[in-house]
Amino acid sequence: MFESLLFNLMLVVLIGILSQWVAWRFRMPAIVVMSVVGLLVGPIFGVINPQESMGEFFEPIITFAVAIILFEGSLNLDFREIKEFRKPVFRIVTVGAVIAWIAGSLAAHYFAGLSWAVAFIMGGLFIVTGPTVILPLLRQAKLKPRPAAILKWEGIVVDPFGALLAVFAFEFFKFLNSEVTLNSFLLFFAASFFAVLLGWGSGKILGTAFERGNVPEFLKSPVLFAVVLFTFVLSDEIMLQTGLLAVTAMGMKMANMRLSSIQDIRHFKENISVLLISGIFVMLTASLDPGVLIEIFNVNIMWYVLVMLFIVRPLSIWVSTIGTELTNREKLLIGWIAPRGIVALTVSGYFATILLDHGYEDAEILTALTFALVFTTVLVHGFSIGPLAKKLNLQITDESGVLIVGGSRFAADLAASIKSTGNEVLIVDQTWTGLSHSRKVGLNGFVGDILSEQLDYHLDLTPYRFILAMTNLDTYNAHVCEDFVPDLGREFLFQTAALETNVEKNYKITGGRLLFSPAVSIYDLEERMNEGHVIRKTLITKQYSYTQYLRERDDTSILLYILRTDGSIEFYSPKVELKAEAEDTVIALVYPTKTIERVKERLKDVNEEAEIPHQKIEGLFSTEIKAEKSFIPGDAPISAK
């Protein structure tokens, strides 16, 4: 009934985006969901066949999408982020890649039964581990920073080189078979060098134009999009598959130019990439021939996949990281995790057609071989990375890290108080100005949009168990909490209370639990800070019980959180009743004048027997309040202005 090209395009996009949502909602690898759905609507039930309906447009759409996705990934290759583990990353993407290529090619020949030419071509391609697959896995597994960072950067850097190695092997065997001359073979290296120069030059020229204001803000994203396609196509027309290298070089150049508008550019590219990734996986799987699914269970293919999992990958990592600072446990984990993704799927389809045209009949199984490797690695690595990391003690065990979204004066003081307890804390704001208060109190902040998928490239979120959404936009706070429900659980997501005017408009602006007791808006908290309120801690003891503390505390104070004896923290919320035990510490926002009056009365009672003059007690409070002063045991300020 609906067989038009327009309907098929709409269905591909709709299915892809719905698959992304299902993967997010149920914390599953997105590539698995999209691929399974594609199989269901394609070869299994025959609802659509994108390759047939799109005809000659099918390959160009896939090719353009891969170019844009690779550029988006390389736009995040800021080398400042790998300065502390540059040696193992460099070894893995160079020595490790070569070992994986050679060993994978031998496995393809001896176990999958491929000819030497086809084996070395596919061996080069299968060194890739895509960022679109590895990043969601890392986020769920909560790895420690070093292994997580190495896996992430390997996935981004190696992608274009895998396709390039496949092209190199193809040209090399054409030369051996006298299909091309030595000059033609050397042209490959010249074309690859030109691709790097073209990408570097395009990035340099465009980045400079952006910084000098030669391109208006509303045209930056469209101009960037056009230049990426121009760079890719020009390089690819000179030598096939060098376009991937060109756009990667372009992205790397722009990533390291410190462009002021780089965040906006990344945000645009992220939206485009999510749409393209969703569509491509559905298109590729829905276009499969049903016979390919049966061929996946070929004994030779299954043996090849097992060798790649248990021999090739561990061997390449262990050998390439000899002499680096990586521990054996880190090598074991990194040597196991290597999910293949979009580049392997798309480029293998291209080479399958080319090799068949050149008379390599064994290339018929490349599609089944690729899908078998992709599905197996994503499933096996996706469900084993967490348990293995926990077994190797490479998971972050700090369960009280706090990520505060929104930089304000109160947020900075709250973060300082949390830091003083020994727990990890970080403030994220979309502008440098918003982090000015955190810098004043000596805290590190991060500039970025917490809702952006690009944040995964630049910020490791695994140390943080709690997220406190405290911006001055109530709806944004709700969106932050809703977005992280699948990752953290709603019980660890908090937001400040909505402004009364928003509540009156009946907005649905609660995505997480309300923060503090009583719950107040960030505007009220900021106003209290301006009035001189301070964050104060009170130690609960057997002599000074929690009940007594609640009875004596000022009615205007706000209960913030409890620091437990084991170092963990729990935040107050209106609908959750917390109880502090002896040796726990209660942290609250209080007005210092009320506290001083109460402390003066208690000191007077305690010291009457010692006959301390009243004037001396008064003198204790005649100077300005300082944060470092401790008034009485169990009641000391954390911060004050």
Mean local confidence (pLDDT), 101-130: 90
Buried b (16+ CB within 10 A) or exposed e, 492-516: bbbbbbbbeeeeeeeeebbbbbbbb
Cα end-to-end span (Å), the chain: 71
CA distances, 248 to each of 39, 156, 351 (Å): 31, 9, 20
Q: Is the pLDDT of residue 620 over 50?
A: no
- Pure H helices in 427-510: 436-440, 455-458, 474-483, 485-488, 500-504
Q: Is the pLDDT of residue 459 over 50?
A: yes
Write the pLDDT tens digit of every residue in 463-483: 788 999 999 888 889 888 888
Residue 113 backbone zone (phi > 0: left; psi -120 to 50: alpha; other: beta) = left
> If residue 149 lies in a helix (H) or strand (E), which one and from where to where?
helix 145-176
For residues 229 and 156, give the distance between their C-alpha atoms in angstroms, rounded to a whole number: 19
| More reliable by pLDDT, 262 or 207 | 207
Domains of the chain (ranges, CATH numbers): 5-391 (1.20.1530.20), 402-639 (3.40.50.720)
> CA torsion angle for 62, 64, 65, 66 (degrees, to 10)?
90
For residues 197 and 192, give the distance between their C-alpha atoms in angstroms, rounded to a whole number: 9
What one-character DSSP code corresponds to residue 589? E
For residue 112, what pLDDT is reported? 92
Confidence category of residue 601, pLDDT binned at 50, 70, 90? low
Write the pLDDT tens digit of every residue in 302-334: 999 999 999 999 999 999 999 888 899 999 999
Look at the block and give the residue holding tokens 């990353």.
89
Contact between 150 and 334 under an 8 Å Cβ cutoff? The reply is yes
Residue-averaged pLDDT of the chain: 81
Contact between 576 and 430 under an 8 Å Cβ cutoff? The reply is no
The structure's pTM equals 0.65
For residues 470 and 402, give the distance between their C-alpha atoms in angstroms, rounded to a whole number: 12
CA-based nearest residue to 585, from 551, 535, 629: 535
**563, β-bridge pairs:** 569, 585
For residues 599 and 633, give the distance between their C-alpha atoms in angstroms, rounded to a whole number: 11
Contact between 374 and 161 under an 8 Å Cβ cutoff? The reply is no
> If residue 639 lies in a helix (H) or strand (E), which one and from where to where?
strand 635-639
Contact between 377 and 309 under an 8 Å Cβ cutoff? The reply is yes
Write the pLDDT tens digit of every residue in 494-542: 999 987 655 444 445 567 789 999 999 999 999 999 888 999 999 999 8
What is the DSSP annotation of 241-309?
A: THHHHHHHHHHHHHHTTT-TTHHHHHHHHHHHHHHHHHHHHHHHHHT--HHHHHHTT-HHHHHHHHHII
Mean local confidence (pLDDT), 85-107: 90
